[in-house]
A and B are shown apart, each in its own frame.
Chain A
Amino acid sequence: MGQEIHTIIIGGGPAGLAAAIRLGRHHRVLILEKEAECGGKLNQWDKLFPDFEDAKTVRQTLLQRLPENVTVQTSANVTEVAQESGKWKVTLQNGETHIAPTLLLATGFEPFNAIRKEEYGYGIYPNVITSVELESMIAKGEILTREGKKPQSVAYIQCVGSRDEKVGNHFCSVNCCICAVKQSIEVKQLLPQANQFCFYMDLRMSGRNYEERYRESQEKYHVNFIRGRVSETSVTANNQILVKAEDTLLSRPIKMKVDLLVLMVGMEPSPSTRQFAEKLGISDPYGYFVSQNSETADNATVHKGLFVAGSAKRPMPVPQALKEGEAAACEIAGYLSDNL
């Protein structure tokens, strides 16, 4: 790139791409993506709640909208970011450096590692899987237990790795309630005979069509919602999972055997998010980025020229991450016109 770059964006997921689409119209932008292709977690997802939009189509649309001024560098592993004489210097693993007056961190999240909730048996009992694994089964159109059978009963556990002091995460991951509703609908479409149970503490359905889909999952897809956090699981001789919880609306312990148990894993800051948050002193207690002001400067940080966007700040659904990227682009454009 011969001319000076205005903005470096680390992370080519929804927030980073959305920011580049806006900024790239009038500024030169460089996206550094650590994976082999852009799209972030969209690449691991099949359909999006609530309209069952195809994640690949969303990703494709974003990539097509990138203006010419945007350069994308994939497999670019950023090891260091530092402020240097009023600019931001980014160093890659291969020693390459890039400098720009503004830097946007859109380094995203990673799914909670369910092995840490040992009482749910993930990694121990073969028929305990995560929502991420279920999503790829749904994408293939085939839901099978480890023994290769179609499950007759499926249970979902909400809030795995979220709202749980035991794993150090007090926060709600926002996306897992809606994900359970979405996946239980899709599973029922693929396995019309299956009985489904969803163990929840609260069902958080706060967007357009969210509550409607929840209602639909009950009315049309007969999902049984049971209020109570599963306390433990064990395995039976034929690899079914025995689930124990309190049916809190009856004040009575409940147990059941299911063929497949799905853990709705929460969202934690990605390793890069944690690393930069700590290095730059903008970390919240969990390792997410803290903006300058959550009301009036939610994409700026305490550092001049440094901006943050998307699920590296806190868990959020895809549409919000896209808006985040656009909002960050506005703040960056304003900063550039004031300072250049």
Chain B
Amino acid sequence: MKSFGFNLKPTRTYDIDTQNDLCAEIAEKVPSFRQCMFCGSCSGTCSAATHVDFHILQYNILFRRGLQSEIADKLDQCMLCGKCGMVCPRGVNTRAMIMEIRKILSNHAK
């Protein structure tokens, strides 16, 4: 094919129908996962986020929307200090959530 010197960018739109919904799987282990109201308190207080590009709320939502591949390597930056859980107004067990997401992702990667 003739090359015109440019190519198409892939779409940024994500199609939720084609994603792998693992919410039920995590909610079984960490029921409080469903209580999140996406307020961002966790991200705001996160000790890691102060210094590095780490967004716990965003990863939580990406996981919910089935975009797990995008967070596969990100959660390792969490120090599991638990600060996020101390501020969460909805009582989400954020540390358990993070550990469980890590587990689920490594199981699915196998």
Residues in chain A within 8 A of chain B (CB atoms): 197, 215, 218-219, 222, 224-225, 227, 244, 247, 249-250, 252-257
Contacting pair B13 A215 (CB below 8 A): no
Contacting pair B62 A250 (CB below 8 A): yes
**B65 touches which of A215, A247, A257 (Cβ 8 Å):** A247
Contacting pair B14 A254 (CB below 8 A): yes
Residues in chain A near residue B58, CB distance under 8 A: 249-250
Contacting pair B14 A224 (CB below 8 A): no
Contacting pair A222 B34 (CB below 8 A): yes
Contacting pair A256 B13 (CB below 8 A): no
Contacting pair B90 A215 (CB below 8 A): yes
Kindly provide the distance from the CB of B35 to the nearest chain A CB, expressed in whole angstroms.
6
Interface centre among A215, A218, A224, A249 (most CB of B within 10 A): A249
- CB within 8 Å of A: which B5-59 residues: 12-17, 23, 31, 34-38, 57-58
Which residue of B has the minimal Cβ distance to A153? B17
Please list 5 pairs of residues, one from A and one from B, whose beta carbons are closer than 8 Å in the complex, sorted by A's number: A222-B23, A249-B38, A250-B61, A252-B14, A256-B16
Residues in chain A near residue B35, CB distance under 8 A: 215, 218-219
* Complex alpha-carbon distance, A215 and B64, angstroms: 17
Residues in chain B near residue A222, CB distance under 8 A: 23, 34
Q: Please give the number of chain B residues whose Cβ is less than 8 angstroms from any Cβ of chain A in the complex.
A: 20
Contacting pair A252 B12 (CB below 8 A): yes
Residues in chain A near residue B36, CB distance under 8 A: 218
Kindly provide the distance from the CB of A246 to the nearest chain B CB, expressed in whole angstroms.
10
Interface centre among B16, B17, B36, B57 (most CB of A within 10 A): B16
Task: Name the 4 nearest CB pairs between A and B, nearest first.
Answer: A253-B13, A256-B16, A219-B34, A218-B34
Kindly provide the distance from the CB of A228 to the nearest chain B CB, expressed in whole angstroms.
11
**A255 touches which of B16, B38, B61 (Cβ 8 Å):** B16
Contacting pair A255 B13 (CB below 8 A): yes
Contacting pair B17 A256 (CB below 8 A): yes
* Complex alpha-carbon distance, A145 and B23, angstroms: 26
Residues in chain B near residue A255, CB distance under 8 A: 13-16
Q: A218-B35, A224-B64, A249-B38 are in contact. Are A254 and B23 (CB under 8 A)?
A: no
Kindly provide the distance from the CB of B9 to the nearest chain A CB, expressed in whole angstroms.
13
- Contacts A249-B61, A257-B17 given; 7 further ones with Cβ under 8 A? A197-B16, A219-B34, A244-B13, A247-B61, A252-B13, A252-B14, A253-B13
Kindly provide the distance from the CB of A198 to the nearest chain B CB, expressed in whole angstroms.
12
Residues in chain A near residue B64, CB distance under 8 A: 224
* Complex alpha-carbon distance, A218 and B15, angstroms: 22
Residues in chain A near residue B57, CB distance under 8 A: 249
Interface 0/1 of B65-78, CB less than 8 Å to A: 10000000000000
Residues in chain A near residue B61, CB distance under 8 A: 247, 249-250
* Complex alpha-carbon distance, A222 and B12, angstroms: 26
Residues in chain B near residue A257, CB distance under 8 A: 17
Kindly provide the distance from the CB of A213 to the nearest chain B CB, expressed in whole angstroms.
13
Residues in chain B near residue A252, CB distance under 8 A: 12-14
Interface centre among B34, B62, B64 (most CB of A within 10 A): B34
* Complex alpha-carbon distance, A113 and B99, angstroms: 48
Kindly provide the distance from the CB of B26 to the nearest chain A CB, expressed in whole angstroms.
12
Residues in chain B near residue A244, CB distance under 8 A: 13
* Complex alpha-carbon distance, A253 and B23, angstroms: 21
Kindly provide the distance from the CB of A194 to the nearest chain B CB, expressed in whole angstroms.
13
Interface centre among B14, B62, B64, B90 (most CB of A within 10 A): B14
Kindly provide the distance from the CB of A157 to the nearest chain B CB, expressed in whole angstroms.
15
Which residue of A has the minimal Cβ distance to B62? A250
